[in-house]
């Protein structure tokens, strides 16, 4: 009899220890800066759907960038009581990025403009889901988005604000 079982091929692991395997910009830290969760009372017919919005603002200082993702979620409860109609959650996440020596501040600014959403959105989704589950809901509120499409839209429409702060060392020279 022949052995018809397929043998499992072992794939080698990819080593990303060396500097040449890493991108010139790294995300050093992601923090929750502020958060506010409150009951939502719907007063107008137009407000009777769940919606969410976000804004990105970044500050670049030399080889460091601080990129802020501000998120606003109005979550309506479909089986609501007379008093509680949903929740409004607003919060700000900050990603801290650093670049290797030699990268221009303008290039770092372009990086955070292009990649903040891709890097911080999964954390934003998790945070919103966690907070609203603690409040008694079961849904994942923020959707999985196509970051390429959304980033293209916000960059083309100049919706990402990037401020540059000159370091004092360069000004003194």
- For the chain, which domains are there? 21-166 (3.10.420.10)
User: So what's the pLDDT on residue 44?
Assistant: 66
Cβ atoms within 10 Å of 12's Cβ, excluding its own? 5
Per-residue pLDDT of the chain (173 residues; tens, 9 = 90+): 555 666 667 788 887 777 776 678 999 999 999 999 998 876 766 566 788 999 999 999 999 999 999 999 988 886 655 566 888 999 999 999 999 888 999 999 999 999 999 999 999 999 999 999 998 888 778 889 998 999 999 999 999 999 999 876 554 44
User: So what's the pLDDT on residue 65?
Assistant: 98
Output 35-39 pairs: Cβ under 8 A, ≥24 positions apart. 35/89, 35/90, 35/91, 35/92, 35/127, 35/131, 36/88, 36/89, 36/90, 36/91, 37/87, 37/88, 37/89, 37/131, 37/132, 37/135, 38/87, 38/88, 39/83, 39/84, 39/85, 39/86, 39/87, 39/88
What are residue 168's DSSP bridge partners? none
pTM for the predicted model, two decimal places: 0.81
How many degrees, rounded to 5, is the angle at CA 6 between CA 5 and CA 9?
A: 150
User: So what's the pLDDT on residue 173?
Assistant: 45
């Amino acid at each position: 009899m022949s052995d018809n079982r397929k043998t499992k091929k072992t794939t080698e692991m990819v080593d990303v220890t060396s500097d040449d395997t890493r991108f010139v910009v790294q995300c050093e830290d992601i923090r929750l800066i502020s958060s506010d969760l409150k009951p939502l009372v719907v007063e107008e017919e137009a407000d009777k759907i769940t919606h969410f919005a976000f804004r990105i603002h970044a500050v670049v200082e030399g080889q460091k960038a601080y990129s802020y993702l501000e998120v606003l979620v109005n979550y309506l409860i479909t089986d609501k009581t007379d008093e509680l109609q949903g929740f409004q959650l607003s919060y700000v996440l900050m990603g801290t990025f650093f670049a290797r020596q030699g990268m221009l501040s303008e290039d770092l600014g372009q990086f955070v403009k292009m990649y903040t959403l891709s890097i911080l959105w999964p954390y934003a989704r998790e945070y919103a889901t966690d907070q609203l589950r603690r409040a008694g809901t079961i849904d994942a509120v923020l959707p999985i988005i196509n970051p390429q499409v959304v980033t293209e839209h916000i960059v083309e429409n100049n919706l990402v604000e990037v401020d540059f702060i000159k370091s004092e060392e360069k000004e003194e020279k």
